[in-house]
Structure 1
Amino acid sequence: MYTFIIWKEKGEGEIELPDSARNEFWGFRRADGRVGVRNHVLILPTITCATQAAHQITQLVQGTVTFIHQHGCAQVGTDYEQTFRTYVGLGSNPNVYGVVVLGLGCETHQARNVAVEIAKTGKPVEVVSIQDHGGTLTAIAEGAKAAVRMVQDASVLKREPCGVEELIVGTECGGSDACSGLSANPAVGFVSDLLADRGGTAILAETTELIGAEHLLAARAVNEQIAKRVYEVIEAMENRSIAMGVDIRTGNPSPGNIEGGLSSLEEKSLGAAAKAGSRPLQEVIRYADQPSKKGLVWMDTPGHDIEQLTGMVAGGAQVVLFTSGRGTPTGSPIAPVIKIATNSAMFEKMNDNMDLNAGTIIEGKESIESVGGRIYQEVLRVADGKLTKAEILKQHDFGIWRIGPTF
């Protein structure tokens, strides 16, 4: 059975919500004024050498999350700066109540430096160093003690009503198929428009998957400077590919995309760009930067699912909408990821991983607006605390976009 919701256009392109829709959710107000939809204590390892110890702490202490990674040392220049910015952004995400920053002691990305920046948000932060504390076992014990204190304090916080204007919602697509640009992506674009009209923020990412559609986004830029920036980030991404001896515009999508019915990069890009809806492009920001504008924002990220997801969460996204035609279990340790199937066959086949089905658009059972309305309401339910499939399965994926050599 399908519930149909009527959505219609008002003056100047604004979308009118039905009486049954709501524009509020229950969130955790943080000291810096931002609102979280989760209340995690993050064990943040600043170096790959500390990731196993961080994992051990999360095994001991309920209410904590962490991630495994290979970064944190032998990085220089803009690559160092981007990784540092990502660490700080993840710890600063409003879904995080407090942070235990866990370092080794001799790495490039010093735990104390990361902690100082995160502490500027007003949330509790403690630093543990494996070398300074005399080894792995002692560091795990100290980190666990700090985490227990934070989890207990976090557990007494109460949610309060918050408006949609407090939300930053990341959008991405992975494992695309021929239905992506016809069903789930335009439905997510409808959600992007709803958020923009109500003072919220939607992040568009995946620069590599917007090549060939850049002119459409530049035409919607709020000014010439933003339009110019659109072409600059596309050119920079292409030049990275050319420097490796590859012209990305002549390449086809991945084997899964091809099997799903996509024939070219431009075809994939036109479908991916549909997630941007129709509202003006307010700004183009760096990887892992927090948006400074409301409405539609483009974050310059690679097409790699996990790397772009990490960048958007580091930029402050509290919820992420992830469309897929082939199916994916991808999730985040910090932000709930709502998985949206582009076709009903895959939704049924991978129901363990997919949260919503947009394949009803292809079947003629629902309109883009109706499915978009369902997604929008699901965002609010998840913001209230409803768990996504990826959260339930503890799909804590993590990866940072590396832009330089390792020394």
Structure 2
Amino acid sequence: MNLDVDPKLQEFREEVRSFFAKDYPKDILAKVAAGASLTTPEVRKAEMALGAKGWLASAWPKEHGGPGWGIEEQYIFDEELERAGAPTVTPMGVVYVGPVVYTFGTEEQQAQWLPGIADGSVGWAQGYSEPEAGSDLASLQFSAVRDGDEYVLNGTKIWTSAANHADWIFLLTRTSQEAKKQMGITFICAELDQPGVTVKPIISIDGKYHLSQCDFEDVRVPVTNRIGEEGKGWTYSQYLLGNERTSYARIGGKRSQLANIRAIASEIPTGGNQRLIEDITFASRLSAAEIKVDALEITTLRVLCSVKDGGSPGNEASILKIMATELAQEITGLFVVAAAEHGMRKFGDSVSPEWTGQSAFAAPGVASYLGARAQSIYGGTNEIQRNIIAKRVLGL
């Protein structure tokens, strides 16, 4: 793998960096830096700023509304977005369902859904997990019963990320009971703002609202909202999950976090007159995390380089999911150590104005630590990912 920097790629990096420095909404950057949650209008504003530039759907081909970038440009864009402190693009639309629509959907479905996803004006949520079907997703029982030209939807989806900002949700539904659990599952899209749909907030341990429970009671959607063939939804979901698991890498964000921790540890005295960076145990943990980011970056590039044009990463993406999420937990744990007694202060969406100086990082840092506990669970638990690696990658 050639790691030399192409001068044209460096020019591209400077263009992206300049955009975030000069043209991206400053109020969005400030709110994210304070550790506060964005409102739905702010999420739209942030994503439409990228959409207006043609950069929101960064991995999409030109024929479907994307910039047509190669792997290198996509990687640089993601790195610079995170380096700038911009909010992570909500993946449910551009990373997850969008590629499913343009790969398996009809021309009519592509015309209906892709433009709103690509320009950031329409939000999406992912309806996968259920109260009795989390990591064992194939056990789902959310039903879709065919009634003429419609499906009638009944059931509950839980831990639904971004449903509080979404207009649409894509659902894995059971349309028949087959001997093999993966069969009889169908991929259907539905509007959230319609009779019979109830979205209930789930406040997570970091004090924020980014998860929901979505209840469906006799909700009718047209058959034309089905992606692909009935009973083939599991196939489409596996295509989607490959994209999801590579999206956890977030190299640029991890490097920024570590640089921030190093600066904080170098400036705040802890343990009497001793500075934290001089503590051998802490310094070793920090250096080890920096090395792991390098390893994650190389592994991510290896996986991405193996992807064929228009394709999805394979089962090797499970390696990235494990590495990236466990490293995220390590990094946020370092924030808690650096916060010391300041970490006991209230965390959540409001950062008190009297929290000035270096201690201002403590509340959002602790909130990030608590929120990151879920990373090794969602998207398929890391235990499940290890099973996938053992069986499908190593052939054990």
Same topology, TM > 0.5: no
Greater relative contact order structure (CA < 8 Å, 6+ sep):
1
TM-score, normalising length from structure 2? 0.27
TM-score, normalising length from structure 1? 0.26
